[in-house]
Structure 1
Amino acid sequence: MPSTHIIPRILRRQLITQPNPSNPESFILPIRKLLIEFNQQRQNQNGLRNFLSLSSAPESKNPSLYKLVKQFPFVEFVVRPTGGSGILKGFYLNNNRIKTIPVDGLDPNQIQKKIQLLLESSGQKLNTFTRKNSISVSVENSKNPTRGHYSALHHEHHTPLSRFSQKFK
């Protein structure tokens, strides 16, 4: 276990992100924080550890977290070692929504695509288009049926009041 005096203490004030320039052409992304959790001992997180180790060199051509941090200065990037599985969490401004993507068993290129997906996402809940939540539209058939349309209301023997009207005549 490493001693605590070797690891520099990061103050919360140092994690504050830079504001987006406020000109009319600027677009503020809805994501405010990206959390990367990984485990040093798990074998299935080699891709995530490689992605983080490749990110240390700013001049490398490999997929790099350093390039993403420079590209998105208004998003807070946090890398945290945990005992669990490798997870990417995006924290969004609207409704305090959190999106989580597990990245166990992925290579560095796939992890960069997942991070890009979180950065470009709006944070809204994904809704699937099903028949329940769609507007029902009646389908019209261009051909007439061969036997015609049956309607119980227009049939003489099956009208609800036909037997009563015959008794009282």
Structure 2
Amino acid sequence: MTNRQRYDWETIRAEYEAGSSMGRLSEKHGVDKAAISRRAKKEAWTQDVVGAVDRVVDAKVNGIVNTADPEKKAAAIRAAADRKVAVINRHREEWERHHELIVEAVTNKDFDTAKLAKITAETLKIRQEAERKAWGIRDVDAQPDGGALTVRILRVSGE
């Protein structure tokens, strides 16, 4: 085997995370045990099956079947991102239409349209939250504390 030979690191990692020892992996795949150890440390491999299953599920859901081929992987990632972008854009359009409904209700002082706007907002919120969860879409600006506001009052000495 040459130094330039490509190893199937995805398979090696999956087998390690499923419980195989580094020694067994070295024998099976012809990779130096130290190389496996370095890679495992660098990529934080664990023998936690839940993490391995989650990675494989995510790859399959997003169409990333052959992750050893960088071009196929990049294309699958772009396609998965495009699908999520379409969902996010649709959500934004729905809120824009909802905004127009509110403007109409306020402008015309129309109580029934205002009630419809309230019901529509609640429905959109519930459906979109569920849809974002199903698509694995996270709000990048979401705060880990759930959006709690922390206020710190600073006192200047001498006051």
Shorter-chain TM-score: what band?
A: under 0.3
Greater RCO, CA 8 A, separation 6+:
1
Structure with more strand by fraction: 1
Structure with more helix by fraction: 2
The TM-score with structure 2 as length reference comes to 0.20
The TM-score with structure 1 as length reference comes to 0.20
